[in-house]
Amino acid sequence: MDEESPVVVIGAGPQGLAAAAHLVERNVPVLVLEAGHSPAAAVAEWGHVRLFSEWPELVDAAGARLLAAAGRKAPRAGFPTGAQWIEKYLAPLADVLGDRVRYDSRVTGVSRLGRDRLVDEGRGDQPFTVHISSAEGREHRVRARAVIDASGTWSSPNPAGADGLPALGEAAAADLLSYRIPDFRDRERFAGRHTVVIGSGHSAVTAVLALAQMAHDDAGTTVTWVLRRAAVGTVFGGGEADELPARGALGVRAREVAESGVVSLVTGFRVERVARDQQRAVLIAEDGRTVTADLVVVLTGFRPDLSFLSELRLELDAALQAPARIAAEVDPNAHSCGSVAATGAADLAHPEPDFYLAGAKSYGRAPTFLALTGYEQVRSIVAELAGDHEAARRVELVLPDTGVCGGTGLFDAPAASSDGACCAAPPQVVQIGRAPASV
């Protein structure tokens, strides 16, 4: 294979830029392809949200070294917003990488030169071909010695429908639904209205807390928090036992607002249909219960876009759509602990040599990804591509514990820890209506 061809990194987000920094350190040619107009375009869409990770967990070591060599310093303390993450670290890192990062370059396909998915002969000796579409729709392709897909999952949010498909009527009510954490500084959009938040992860908790503050200040503003799971279980996290204090604080505050009654909590509600009542959305569950809202914020997680990888030979878990070797470690059906092991090149490899999924996309549909995990992934992958197999095998990551341990699964009842103190009993569930026979 042509060693002068670059390693192509898909996505100029945190992990993509970190991969590029490691490749630069090892004098390996690299080209980063970013669909957006600027670095970390996905992060910019939630720039108003404050992260629960502190700066040391958000800065990759190679990225920090590259910045230092250019006379710039990465921040060392505090909890940034997404916008601050870009301003103070990601954008400066992209600037240092310079023309190695190409914007408005959407990857539309990855394959082997002259070899479709079916062909065995000489496959591993052929370079990758990466097909690209510009913002103006012009198409071209580049050759690559290896490909690291760090494009994330932000562009593919899960629907409100509990079966993984859009609920009946969901598309027709799209103007009443949002699939991102809204910017709650736009208070007029929510004040005096009823907002429903669907989801149980940190994004949903963040949205619920912001809306709860509005409801506390304005009696006309109401909030309903809808969970698919039958019991609260580990939704409130590990509290003070969480080694990321800001993450633990989110759960503590969420429990407080749920128990105070400022937010109405509904469990076991799996959306089957979305109907319209003029300018309001009516969510209808599988069991016939209904919730009517002025606005619905759907924060049910994300899934990887694998469409442009259809000509590659990937080994993915059937449920999570994550690399098969790491699926058991990240499966939310199996555990809710923070004890996920570090994943490196060997864990992320596929039958297609020199192709890797990294970052949030490597976790498929699992919601437990941390920036630190992704930084360790790309460090190991780049070491492997550079021929430093010992460094690729080495583990240089210690993850903070969530303080939550128990195999609660997605829909299981709460599981207690050994001292019985892990999981809280669910707050009182509000009474809601049932769908009329005509719906």
- The pLDDT tens digits of the residues spanning 395-439 come to 888 766 554 444 334 443 333 333 333 333 333 333 334 333 333
Q: pLDDT band at residue 245, thresholds of 50, 70 and 90? A: low
For residue 94, what are its two tokens?
A: 């992209």
Spatial CA neighbour of 153 closest among 46, 56, 233: 46
DSSP helix, strand, coil percent of the chain (3-state; round to 5) = 30, 20, 50
Listed range (16-25, 192-201, 352-361) with the worst mean pLDDT:
192-201
Distances (CA, A) of 185 to 73, 179, 266: 30, 17, 26
The CB density around residue 352, as the number of other CB atoms within 10 Å, is 21
Residue 147 parent element (H or E) = strand 146-149
Separation CA 99–CA 93 (nearest Å)? 12
**Total length of the chain:** 439
- The pLDDT tens digits of the residues spanning 362-398 come to 999 998 788 999 999 999 999 999 999 999 999 888 7
Domains defined for the chain, CATH in brackets: 7-155+302-393 (3.50.50.60), 171-301+410-434 (3.50.50.60)
Residue 59 parent element (H or E) = none
Structure confidence at residue 231 (pLDDT): 61
For residue 177, what are the β-bridge partners?
Answer: 296
pTM confidence score = 0.86
User: Average pLDDT, stretch 262-285?
Assistant: 94
Q: Residue ranges of the alpha helices (H) in 176-303? A: 202-217, 245-260
Structure confidence at residue 247 (pLDDT): 55
Percent of the chain with pLDDT over 70: 83
